[in-house]
Structure 1
């Protein structure tokens, strides 16, 4: 793999193309049902077949493809910055989930629109490319859809893998198919990784070293989460002067540990309030049952309740309000980490001024947490007792807590230079004029 000559398609790639054609009717039925169940109009559902529901704008079009909510939102700040530097550039975001489409619509940068991506079949992808004719394609994190990549490259669209992150399991799987891995990675003109480990993995998988550029995690420079000031004022007024800590993005099997820690904390801090925000709001009933079983009083956000002076747990089982909760308290435990789930984005609470407590199962952010822990911006715990001790220390020793918050803020501010470098690298690949 060298220069601009793509590696040759492999037998495995050909088999994939054949298999995708065979299973496409079943895949279409499944994804269409999910979108229809969400209440989307048929025009939008058919975007998965490559049928556009919007016209193609006249300027140079930069296409971002992301998997779901986190990946989609991570590129909005980048898009905004690129739009400021390239005044004629238009933007298209594709993502597969209705939730991501809904949240993107609320935070859409100028000259940007959203579509659902085509299924990875020849017909759907070609239909999509024929309509949109992107001048640059940017695939976010680990979205390696073979036909989407190959057919876009064949259509003359330069491609970038941005914020690249691959699990160890995924890397090992690709290494067993080196020719196909090399062929797929050769579709990219540039691969910008989250960290040096991913850069090394991509090179080991066959990516050309001169196309790999280690970067930082895009989520570290995303715009802060929105804050609903009216809600914040009401909740803050209801809680009063009581201390508050937050357990955010918790999963099944984690709330028990959080509630055990809270029970211990109440022994020394009887007026302490826990704001519990499950990762999936539909788990509200299960979370409430756990709170009740723990013998704690509960008020539930999804029922329009506010925390009273005697509320020990405020269950925030709603979508899109986490930014408001981070504005309520800078003392945050971030879930997805007490079990081997991989952890969640620590940059969102830090952008709001918080310091972060995490469990040990944060492998998706391992390098980030190693650096944050070394700086004193994050604390790692492995049990309910350790969680209670860490929350107590930050409650009782404000100087230590403020130092952790300051370290987190300094870490975030250092990431902006990386964003500017990424913008320059992407714009350098954008043709000076719209391709015919």
Structure 2
């Protein structure tokens, strides 16, 4: 360590000193064996990070993963049973040391900005290899010590590799002191869905039953969205008289009353779950089993994803529908999955509607020849774009862990 770096870090650590609180390293015990620490700087990155972790653990059985969020994060929307998340401690010297002494990670991945100099430099000094993904020129220095010279450079220097998502971010990081040979540009982590196969005979049989008719799917439809969906279907049938809708409801208890409602509206329906046959005059096919969506996403060129049209909704995950080749229509209320919907919208792989009339218009437009196919192709390109990067990153992580294992064996 150079004398200047030693003096700068010493000054920073003194100015940001603080006694760690008992909860600073979380209540969870450190698991036995290898431990990867992955820090996720924002909730919008959580799904892709979790997807990467699952794939990594499939490739490396026995690897445990510690997921962390920025200090003070409300974790109510972060945690799940299989992927608990803990908050990092505040940017204090003692808290950083306590956190690392408790968890003793074998490797660290930092996804996003908000770099914390105490934690990063302490991890580096402890010999923990660090990799920075989706890098941003964003240092979360302690308020009392922001004036310390070159603290950004010292922090970036601790990473073995720095991957920014744009040339502009890479340039800013280099200006802050990131070594040119460490900084590169690569796409952000993407969700790469693992798709279950579907019996070929059922695909063929259902396709035959539909007799080449235009079809579309309304999936995860909430009770308060039903009227809008049915109105859009009737509107589209004026232009496409043989149009059939597969209506998947999010509440299984709604199927029976909904069938009576459809019959009162003179809409001919079949209950797929009861084995009702699809006839040439069937206009609505009711279903409620989430597993059945694997069939309909494959067969329907267009899918409206519900839980998105009414105020107070939060959307449902569009990845599987997109990966299975269906063009996606959605409402404006998708905040639980906003990032991926924004990516799909920007790639012209999905479109947003705000009313039943707009949904009907979108259906007629997208059911035109090749229109939905173009959107589906754009969606497929988007959801598979990150696959090579994930494979490369998994290899990089495994190489680092293998190297650490060899170093331990030689000591």
- TM-score (normalised: structure 2): 0.60
- Aligned partner (choices 323, 326, 334) of residue 354 of structure 1: 326
Q: Does 2:369 match 1:398?
A: yes
Report what 2:27 is aligned to. 49
| Secondary structure of 1:276 counterpart | strand
| Secondary structure of 2:63 counterpart | strand
Counterparts of 1:99 and 1:236 in 2: how far apart (Å)? 39
Counterparts of 1:387 and 1:160 in 2: how far apart (Å)? 44
Q: Deviation at 1:388?
A: 1.7
- Aligned partner (choices 297, 302, 305) of residue 326 of structure 1: 297
Report what 2:216 is aligned to. 245
Counterparts of 1:224 and 1:287 in 2: how far apart (Å)? 29
Q: Does 2:84 match 1:116?
A: yes
Q: Does 2:138 match 1:160?
A: no
Q: For structure 1, list consecutive stretches of 5 or more residues without a partner in the other structure.
A: 26-46, 103-114
Q: Does 2:213 match 1:224?
A: no
Alpha-carbon distance change, 346 to 366 in structure 1, aligned in 2, over 3 angstroms: closer
Counterparts of 2:177 and 2:220 in 1: how far apart (Å)? 35
Alpha-carbon distance change, 155 to 413 in structure 1, aligned in 2, over 3 angstroms: same
Cα deviation digits, residues 361-410 of structure 1 (max 9, x gap): 7752477336522xxx4444443323222222333x23333333344444
| Secondary structure of 2:329 counterpart | strand
Report what 2:355 is aligned to. 383
Alpha-carbon distance change, 335 to 429 in structure 1, aligned in 2, over 3 angstroms: farther
Q: Deviation at 1:75?
A: 0.6
Counterparts of 1:326 and 1:231 in 2: how far apart (Å)? 16
Larger radius of gyration: 2
| Secondary structure of 1:332 counterpart | strand
Alpha-carbon distance change, 231 to 256 in structure 1, aligned in 2, over 3 angstroms: farther
Cα contact 1:48–1:117 (8 A) shared by 2: no
Counterparts of 2:226 and 2:116 in 1: how far apart (Å)? 35
Q: Does 2:166 match 1:196?
A: yes
Cα deviation digits, residues 320-356 of structure 1 (max 9, x gap): 7754542343422345765698976655333222233
Q: Deviation at 1:121?
A: 5.4
Cα contact 1:258–1:384 (8 A) shared by 2: yes
Root mean square deviation, CA, Å: 6.0
Alpha-carbon distance change, 403 to 370 in structure 1, aligned in 2, over 3 angstroms: closer
Q: Deviation at 1:244?
A: 3.9
Q: Deviation at 1:136?
A: 1.3
Counterparts of 1:175 and 1:146 in 2: how far apart (Å)? 6
Counterparts of 1:244 and 1:264 in 2: how far apart (Å)? 14
- Aligned partner (choices 30, 54, 71) of residue 48 of structure 2: 71
Cα deviation digits, residues 198-226 of structure 1 (max 9, x gap): 94798599794856544324335x14333
Counterparts of 1:237 and 1:214 in 2: how far apart (Å)? 44
Q: Deviation at 1:272?
A: 1.5
Alpha-carbon distance change, 179 to 335 in structure 1, aligned in 2, over 3 angstroms: farther
Counterparts of 1:290 and 1:331 in 2: how far apart (Å)? 22
Alpha-carbon distance change, 293 to 350 in structure 1, aligned in 2, over 3 angstroms: same
| Secondary structure of 2:64 counterpart | strand
- TM-score (normalised: structure 1): 0.57
Q: How many residues align?
A: 370
- Aligned partner (choices 351, 356, 368) of residue 343 of structure 2: 368
Counterparts of 1:160 and 1:240 in 2: how far apart (Å)? 51
Cα contact 1:10–1:179 (8 A) shared by 2: no
| Secondary structure of 1:75 counterpart | helix
Cα contact 2:117–2:140 (8 A) shared by 1: no
Alpha-carbon distance change, 174 to 133 in structure 1, aligned in 2, over 3 angstroms: closer
Counterparts of 1:272 and 1:157 in 2: how far apart (Å)? 58
Q: For structure 2, list consecutive stretches of 5 or more residues without a partner in the other structure.
A: 68-74
Alpha-carbon distance change, 145 to 342 in structure 1, aligned in 2, over 3 angstroms: farther
Counterparts of 1:91 and 1:70 in 2: how far apart (Å)? 19
Alpha-carbon distance change, 161 to 343 in structure 1, aligned in 2, over 3 angstroms: farther
Q: Deviation at 1:56?
A: 1.5
Counterparts of 2:223 and 2:124 in 1: how far apart (Å)? 42
